[in-house]
Structure 1
Amino acid sequence: MMIEPKFKKINEDVKTFKDLEDDIIKSNLCCACGACIAYCESQSFDVIEMQNYTPKFKSEKNAENCTECGVCYFICPQTSPLLDKLNQAYCVEDEIGQVLKILAAKTTNKTIGNVGQDGGIVSTILTYLFDEHMIDAAIISECDENFEPIPKIVYDKNDLLKSAGTRYSISSQILPLKELYDLSEEILEKLGVHEVDQLRLAFVGTPCQCRALSKMKLMHIKPAHIIKYIIGLFCFENFNYSQLYEIIKKETKVPPTDIKKTWIKKNFFFKTKEDKEFEIDIKTLDPAVRNHCHECDEFTAKFTDISVGASGAPKGYSMIILRTENGVNIIKQLLSRGFIEQLIIDKLSEWNITKINWFKKLISLKTKR
C-alpha cells in the first residue's frame, strides 16, 4: 500500500535512484542501510535490491518500473536534502545533538549482563519494552555461523539474547522493513493486531542508519511510520565484513566461525568459542574501514530517542544520552524499577561537561581523518 510523502515537492528538480547511484553509490559513500530498498519494495515498485551490501537496479527491465518519485534520494542518510528540517525536528544545534540527560548505567539482569556488550543497556531496554507491551517487535542484528551480521525483525523478547553484543561490520538494519507487508495473518493475529500499520516497533542502529530512518519518519512515509522508538549506537567507524575477517584471520589464524565476541577498547579484541582472547592493533584494520565512514561526522547518533555506547564509560557500564521525552521516560522507568543501575557521580555537572567534551573530541578526530 503506497502513501504519498508529506514533502512531495521539496525541490522541483527531483533526483531519482539514478542520481543516487551517481552521487552516492558509485562514489562508495553508500552505508548500505537499506532505506531506499525498504521504501521502494514496501510500495511494490519492484525496482531495486541489495546486492553484496550495494543497492542496485534488479535489471534494466526493472529500472523501467521506477516512478521517479525521488523518495530514495531524500531519505538516503548520505544526501543533504531534509537535514535542516531533521536538525530542527530533533533540536540539533551542534555536533552532539540535543542532550536532555547523560548518564552511565548497567543492567541488573545477570543473563543479559553475561552476554551483552558492556552494560547490556540496549537488550535491557528492548526487554522492558516487550514486557510492558510497548512494542510488538524490534529490528536488531544477529549473526550467522560465520559471524556475519544479519538484520532481523524479532517478535519475541526471548530472541533478543541472540542479538547481544557488537559485530563491527555492516548490517543493513532498515532492510527488513521491506518484508512487513508480507507478514502472515497468523503472525498478526498472534501479535493482537489486524493489520501491519497497527504494529509498534523499536529500532536499533548506527548513526547513519538512524539518520535515514528519521528522514523517513519526517516525511511520514511507510514503512517507517510503525517505528516508535529509535535507539542509536555510538559508532566511530564500521568495517567491510570480508576485508575485516580476512585481516583478522591473517593476523591470528582464527576464522570468523570460531569467534564468539568482539569489542573495541583502543584496539580491536575478540574472544573465541574456546574463550581464548586476542588483541589486534586497530590501525591494522584500516584497510577494512568502509569508505563512507571517512565522510561521516556523527558519533553519538543525534537523531534518536536514546543513544548508547561504551566510550567514556567505566568498565561494565554503558554511556546513555537521552534526547527525547520518550527516551527519558524509558530510562526513568528502568531506574525506578531496578532494571538498570546508574553509576553514582559526586560532581555531576562537572562530569557531564567532561563527557560531552570527550564526545566532541572523538567527533573532531573522526572528521579530521
Structure 2
Amino acid sequence: MNQEKNLHWVQLLRGVAALLVVLTHGRYALLGTPSWPLADQLMTPGAMGVDLFFIISGFIMYYSTTGNPGGAGEAARFLVKRFARVWPAYAVVTLASVYVLSGGTSYFHVAANRLAFWHTLAMLPADPHQPPYFGLTLLVGWTLEFEMYFYLIFAASMLFKRLRWFVLASWVLLTVILLPLGHAGFDMSVARDHGFTAGYMSIVTSPFVLEFLAGVLIGWAHRQPWLRIRSPQLAWHALGLSVAFAVFAIYSRAVWDHGPTRFGWPLALMVLAMAVASKTVQIRAPGLCIWLGSISYSLYLTHPIAQGLEQQALQMAGLIGLWATWWSVLLSLVCALSVAALSHHYLEQGLSNQVRNLLLRLLTRRTAAAAPQQPLARRA
C-alpha cells in the first residue's frame, strides 16, 4: 500500500510532542507539594517533545520539497512560506507573554529586558552564553530560533540545486563538528558554551542541528522505493518495537536530556520506523490526534500564557489553593488547548496566511520586474 500521501502519523507525532511539552511545564504547579516527585517522574521526560519536533521538521522540509528543482526563486519562496508560518504568530505571542507573564509595560522599564525583547523578536540569542535557552522574553522561543536557522540553511542549500544535499550535509559537518572541535573541543552537549565571539554561533554550532539533519535523512529514506518492508506483519512489528524502545529509553532515563546523543537518537529510530512502515501499512490516527497535530505549533507557542492566565484567574477567584493540585494540571491542559485553538484560527490561519500571501505577491512582482524583457521582434 502506497502511503506517500498519507502523513497522518506525522500529525500524530506533532500532537503528542506538543502535549508532552505542555505537561512537562504544567508539572511546575505541583512544585513543593507531596505530589512533586511523582509529577516530576511522569512528566519531565515529556521534554523530549522538543527533540521530536526538530526531527519532524527536517522530515517535512525534505518531503515538501521533493521534486523541487531548487534555485534562487524556489529558495526565496520556501523562506517566505516558512517565515510567514512561524514569525507573525511568534511575534504576537511574544508581546502577549510580556503582559500576561512579565508584568506588562513595567517589563520594558529595565534595559536588559528591552534588549531581550528585541532579540527575541529578531530570533537572535539574547544571552548566547546560556545555551540552549538564551535568556529570551518568550520562554519557549529558543526552539523557534533553532527552527528558523534550519529554514535558513535549508533554503541556502536549495541554491545549489542538484548538489543541495551534499552542500547541506557538508555545512552541518563543518559547523557542528569541525568548528567546535577546533575551537573548544568536541562535545555533543546542547548546553555547552563554546565561547564564540559571534553570539549566533551558539545556534550554528549546536548539536540540535544534527536532529534536523536526521529528519532530512529520514525524509530521504521515506522517498526511496527500494526501502520498504514487504510484509505488513513485519512493518507493524518494527513500528511497535521502535515506539516501545523510545518510550523505554527515555522514561527509564537510560537516555536523558536534549540532544542527538540523548533524547534524539531513540526518537530518530522511531520516526524512521514509522516513515518506512507507513509505506506498507496505514498508520491510522483518531480525528482528535489529527486536530492536535494541526494546532501543535500554537499549542506549543501559547501554553505558557494559558497556564499563566489560569493561575491569575484562580487567584482572582480566591481559589489559588487549587493551583498546586493535579486538578490544576488538568485544567491548565484544557486551557492550553482552548487558547491554542484560538491562536491557530486567528494567528496561523488568519494573520500568517495574510502575511504569506502578501509576501508571495511582492516576491512575484519583484521576480517579474527583474526578469529580462524580450525584444519586440522576438515576441512577435
Regarding TM over 0.5, the answer is no
The answer to which structure has the higher helix fraction is: 2
Greater CA radius of gyration, 1 or 2? 2
Where relative contact order (Cα < 8 A, 6+ residues apart) is larger, the structure is: 2
The answer to which structure has the higher strand fraction is: 1
Interval containing the TM-score (normalised by the shorter chain) = under 0.3
TM-score for the superposition, normalised by structure 2: 0.23
TM-score for the superposition, normalised by structure 1: 0.23
